[in-house]
């Protein structure tokens, strides 16, 4: 494809993109492959001349990357089609300057977020950004942080309106995961600590960000405690909203968001070796965390017949236990333990059962230090040994054995006194 193609590009390109957008073209294997090869060659050799069409290219390429090709041609054909599409995305990431690609992708994402039937296209768009970030230096991307922050916020903010819109859970998860991968696994690690702080500050405001992004970054590099303070108030706000009537209309999606928040906080507490978890932050977090126990026995829960909660407790238990260790304050630990003991007297068997699991985890984290607050725990455990619910009686016996192992002494004398 030589220089002569440039003079006809303004006539050829609109027709090419129109054919790519035509659903009938996608049903004709030979035509579809020809169109994709043409797009691939143009992005490879004429990247400097296609900026007016970049927004449409991004949308159509994303749609084709998600196209179901199982009914099209042979396996060899499908492999060739997929290779051309993937390499087209690579060519864009390699050849397009940030001033062209980033605004085009941002505009395409905005259109798809607002057109709910095209929301699934955001995933390949985010994957394109991820490729782009990997091939660019931090200096090249710094001048576009405001625009990228807007994309980040708009995409992750979808979940905040999930109770107003009918959004498929798998689509939302795919969009969020690809956003996290692009921004936290690729972009943030390219930026300096100072630039990261400015970028995160852009994301701190009246929009509540899905906090699984924080956990994803922690999995890549344990540096996020430095920035966790920018998101802490958002985490508290999200936890408080979990009990609202509006959020109860979509329990499955709420459970996913709650898990992301709790898992993120658990990671932050686990890696807090610099005193991030102050007494003030401990007070801020304690009640919203414990209030999550009240959500276990809500009438809208699908597993309400099972006393062992599998949706909230597995995320809440390590979060609270890590918080106790992170605060490094015996008085605070004693206070939180007392509040859990109050939950162990709750009217709901499911809440009592969950409180027992939390007590066991706190004891495991504190080790021998738990002996200082054991006296106030013993009466509650003794009371639960005579609980009317057999599952709780059995759980108490198991917890007692575990605590005896942790503390290195028998609790029977204390329980019988």
% of the chain with per-residue pLDDT over 70: 84
First to last CA, the chain: 91
What average pLDDT does this structure show over 309-314? 86
State residue 149's pLDDT score.
84
Q: Are residues 232 and 284 in contact, defined by beta-carbon separation less than 8 angstroms?
A: yes
Check pLDDT > 80 for residue 389. Answer: yes
297 is written with which tokens? 């026995």
pLDDT at 216: 47
Instruction: Identify the band that residue 248 occupies on the pLDDT scale cut at 50, 70 and 90.
Output: low
Residue 387, both tokens: 């609980």
How far apart are alpha carbons 40 and 60 in whole angstroms?
12
**How far is residue 244 from each of residues 232, 238, 251, 367, measured CA to CA in Å?**
20, 10, 11, 37
DSSP single-letter state for residue 50? -
CB contact set of 144 (below 8 Å; sequence gap of 6+):
98, 99, 102
pLDDT tens for each residue of 98-124 = 999 999 999 999 999 888 778 999 999
Cα–Cα distance list, 289 to 161, 213, 229, 259 (Å): 22, 20, 17, 12
Helix (H) or strand (E) holding 240: helix 232-241
CB 276 within 8 A of CB 228: yes
pLDDT tens digits, 390-399: 999 999 999 9
Q: Give per-residue pLDDT as tens, 67-95.
A: 888 888 788 999 999 999 999 999 999 99
Quick one: pLDDT at residue 137?
Answer: 87
Helices marked H in 115-192 — which ranges?
A: 122-135, 138-142, 145-156, 169-180
pLDDT of residue 6: 77
Instruction: Look up the pTM and report it.
Output: 0.69
The yes-or-no verdict on residue 252 having pLDDT over 80 is no
């Amino acid at each position: 494809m030589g220089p002569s193609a440039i003079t006809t590009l303004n006539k050829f390109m609109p027709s090419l993109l129109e054919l790519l957008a035509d659903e009938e073209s996608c049903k004709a294997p030979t035509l579809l492959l020809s169109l994709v090869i043409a797009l691939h060659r143009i992005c490879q050799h004429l990247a400097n001349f296609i900026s007016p069409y970049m927004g449409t290219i991004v949308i159509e390429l994303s749609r084709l990357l998600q196209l179901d090709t199982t009914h099209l041609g042979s396996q060899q054909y499908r492999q060739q089609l997929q290779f051309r599409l993937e390499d087209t995305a690579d060519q864009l990431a390699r050849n397009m300057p940030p001033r062209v690609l980033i605004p085009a992708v941002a505009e395409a994402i905005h259109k798809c977020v607002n057109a709910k039937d095209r929301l699934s296209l955001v995933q390949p768009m985010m994957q394109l950004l991820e490729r782009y970030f990997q091939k660019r230096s931090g200096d090249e991307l710094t001048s576009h942080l405001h625009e990228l922050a807007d994309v980040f916020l708009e995409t992750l903010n979808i979940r905040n309106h999930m109770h107003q819109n009918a959004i498929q859970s798998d689509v939302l998860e795919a969009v969020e995961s690809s956003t996290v991968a692009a921004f936290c696994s690729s972009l943030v690690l390219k930026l300096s600590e100072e630039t990261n702080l400015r970028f995160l500050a852009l994301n701190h405001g009246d929009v509540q960000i899905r906090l699984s992004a924080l956990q994803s970054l922690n999995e890549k590099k344990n540096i996020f405690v430095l920035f966790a303070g920018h998101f802490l108030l958002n985490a508290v706000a999200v936890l408080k909203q979990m009990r609202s009537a509006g959020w109860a209309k979509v329990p499955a999606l709420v459970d996913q968001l709650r898990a992301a928040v709790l898992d993120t906080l658990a990671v932050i507490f686990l890696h807090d070796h610099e005193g991030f978890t102050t007494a003030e932050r401990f007070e801020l977090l304690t009640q919203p965390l414990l209030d999550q126990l009240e959500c276990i026995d809500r009438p809208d829960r699908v597993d309400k017949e099972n006393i062992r909660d599998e949706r909230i407790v597995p995320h809440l238990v390590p979060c609270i236990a890590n918080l106790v260790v992170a605060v490094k304050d015996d008085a605070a630990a004693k206070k939180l333990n007392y509040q859990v003991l109050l939950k162990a007297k709750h009217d709901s068997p499911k809440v009592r059962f969950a409180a027992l699991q939390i007590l066991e985890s706190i004891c495991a984290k504190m080790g021998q230090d738990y002996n200082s607050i054991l006296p106030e725990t013993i009466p509650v455990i003794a009371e639960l040994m005579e609980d009317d619910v057999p599952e709780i009686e059995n759980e108490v016996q198991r917890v007692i054995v575990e605590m005896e192992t942790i503390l290195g002494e028998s609790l029977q004398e204390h329980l019988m006194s």
